[in-house]
Amino acid sequence: MDEEDEFVARQAGALAIDILDNRLHLPLNDGKINRDKIEDHIVIGLYSGKLMPITQEIVDLAVNGVQDMIDIQRNAMGEGWDENE
C-alpha cells in the first residue's frame, strides 16, 4: 500500500465513522443503507464548507464499508435485528 492508498483508506474510514456516528445510513431499506441520504449530506457539507473536498472514490469506499458493517451485524445478530431502526 503506497501513501496515496493509505490516505484514501484513512479518509474513507473517517467518513464511515462520521456516517455511522450521525446515523446517516438510516433508515435501512431491505438491509441496505440509505446511500441517497448519505450523499445528500456530503453535498450539503461540501457547499457549506463544513467538509473538505472529497473524491467519489473515498465516498464509495466509505459507503461500501458501512454497508459491509451492516451486513456483518446482520449475519451476527440474525435477520430482523434492524427492524426497529
**Could you read off the pLDDT of 30-45 as tens digits, one per residue?**
889 999 999 999 999 9
Q: What is the pTM of this model?
A: 0.84
Mean pLDDT value of segment 63-77: 93
4, burial (CB in 10 Å: exposed 0-12, middle 13-18, buried 19+): exposed
Beta pairing partners, 29: 32
The whole-number pLDDT of residue 10 equals 96
Q: Calculate what percentage of the chain has a pLDDT beyond 70.
A: 92
DSSP states of 37-82:
HHHHHHHHHHHHTSS----HHHHHHHHHHHHHHHHHHHHHH-TTTT
